[in-house]
Amino acid sequence: MNKHIEPRVTLLGAGPGDPDLLTLKGVKALQTADVVLYDALTNEALLEHAPAQAIKVYVGKRSGEHSHSQDAINQLMIDYALNYGHVVRLKGGDPFVFGRGYEELDFATSYNVPVSVIPGISSSIGVPGLQQIPVTHRGLSESFWVITGTTTNGQISGDIYQAANSNATVVILMGLKQLSKIVEVFKAVGKAQLPAAVVQNGSTETEKLVISTVENIEARVGEEKIKAPALLIFGEVVSLHPSFKNVIKQYAAIS
């Protein structure tokens, strides 16, 4: 290692997709990067903030596609830091919301490489907000759950069962493949008419939104050909979306 190199790592949250939602502190970090390791769910337009001579390395991390393992990413991060200096680990959303950010922080510190964290706007809050759906609202929701739809063993999270029994807003990430099972969980506790929404590619130019109820959300997702990455929202707050009343009228007319 060059003795003049000062290895360090910045874990940077890129936000939900719109490059304009990156924080100013995030821009400054990219401007001083020697290496950028970026995920599939980060907008490549953000790489323009990094110096032209900086090394940019795509490390994947999207379901169904070839990607580096987490262990490989950890090692790349350290190797680049020791050999080049400042590594910006650019991650979609927020590094610590299902981003495995702490695993990377822990690995770097085990090599005595300094780490700083710059939060990003998590899709779990930012995407509903962009759709004018508040995750909390006085009289409707006093709290919200953010849950992974699929655990490491491929099953739906047990927390979904608990969340369905609450009055909280339930936001589920990485849950589109499990939608039918999740719908059954809500139906089983008598919430077939609970408002629900699914947002594909939230905050981007290819964003798609489906608004319905638990009972009909799966059919609507199929009709609109919604694909991952998508975010699921269940709760009375979805009824605040401007189009929800029209959805209810539409299904009332059909029935």
Give catalytic residue positions.
Answer: 39, 61, 174
Encode burial over 30-69: b for 16+ CB neighbours within 10 A, e otherwise: beebbbbbbbebbbeebbebbeeebeeeebebeeeeebbe
3-state secondary structure of 248: helix
Provide the 10 A C-beta neighbour count for residue 76.
17
For 48, the token pair is 């323009």
Amino acid type, 235: G
182: left (phi over 0), alpha (psi -120 to 50) or beta: alpha
How many whole angstroms separate alpha carbon 120 and alpha carbon 126?
Answer: 10
Task: Fill in the DSSP letter of residue 233.
Answer: E
For 70, the token pair is 């987490």
For 166, the token pair is 């609450």
Residue 238 · residue 133 · CB < 8 Å: yes
